[in-house]
Amino acid sequence: MDALALLRLYGEWGADTALDDTPIDWLARPAPAAPPPTAPSPSRPSDAAPRHPATRTQPGAATTAPTTPEPRRAPPRPAAAGEDGVPLIDRAVQQATEAAAAAHTLAALHAAMAGFTACSLRDTATHTVATLGEAPGRLLLIGEPPDAAEDRSGIPFAGPMGDLLDRMLASIGLARADMLLAPVIPWRPPGERPPSATELRICTPFLHRLIVLAAPRKVIAMGNMPARLLTGDTTGIARLRGRWRDITIPGQAAPIALLPMRHPSQIGASPTARRDAWKDLLLLRTTLDHDKVTD
């Protein structure tokens, strides 16, 4: 493997930031530490230290076991705060809220996310994955955090998972042009690890503003993370899927109907996952046909 291919591989793994001027072999085992010296055991009873008379137990006296002092517990570490005393996490969430609220179009929202500096995910990602779609429509499909293919292209549902999504939609007569597509957060976490609770807090105002600007009639949450984040339910997608539910979004006047579904990456997990996905696609098609009749 040449050096360029190795660097690309490191980038795919999320190792794209050098911390030292010289490489460090973290797998090298350190030399074993020498065992501490032990006190020699007495060889004869006469070598032992004499017992002080005061330590003898008097007949009938109660004996008490020596008490071990309670270990000292360190006080909880407070959240890091700035000069004004506001925790840095709360400040980042406030900055994200203000940046999102200042955007009045989807293009402006994408520009606000691309220029946002209070989330470390932006610094490690290749692209800020934009919402795909020309204009607000009646369907908004929200997927999991960007994977490597989406991060490289800046397009949601790119690569093999996007091809599978296209086939899923085509099975009920839909296409990407019929909806808006977006990831639940705009940046790929390094190595595709799950985003932390702090990172989700910072990114949530952008997701809420996206829904307000898109003004969809229906929202499809594909995968565990978007379904949990938008419904507030901590159970898995296997329990959340299968029915519509109303969600309330800050800044939105009325509740919006949301359908949790399995992400395309979960379809190959088992026959049950594929059966669930097909049932949810049929439910989506039935709902859209009903809405068309009642319009």
Could you give the residue ranges of the DSSP H alpha helices within 119-158? Answer: 120-124, 148-153
pLDDT in tens, 203-213: 999 999 999 99
Distance separating alpha carbons of residues 182 and 176, to the nearest angstrom: 11
Dump the DSSP string for 8-45: HHHHHHT-----SSS---TTSPPPPPPPPP-PPPPSSG
The per-residue pLDDT of the chain, averaged, comes to 83
Q: What b/e readout covers 78-104, taking b as 16+ CB neighbours within 10 angstroms?
A: eeeeeeeeeeebeebbebbbebbeebe
d(CA 112, CA 203): 12
- The answer to whether 294 touches 217, Cβ cutoff 8 Å, is no
What is the set of domains in the chain, with CATH numbers?
88-294 (3.40.470.10)
Closest CA to 238 of 269, 217, 207, 282: 269
User: Tens digits of per-residue pLDDT, 169-198?
Assistant: 999 999 998 899 999 999 999 999 999 999
pTM: 0.71
Q: Are 213 and 171 in contact (CB under 8 A)?
A: no
DSSP state of 73: P
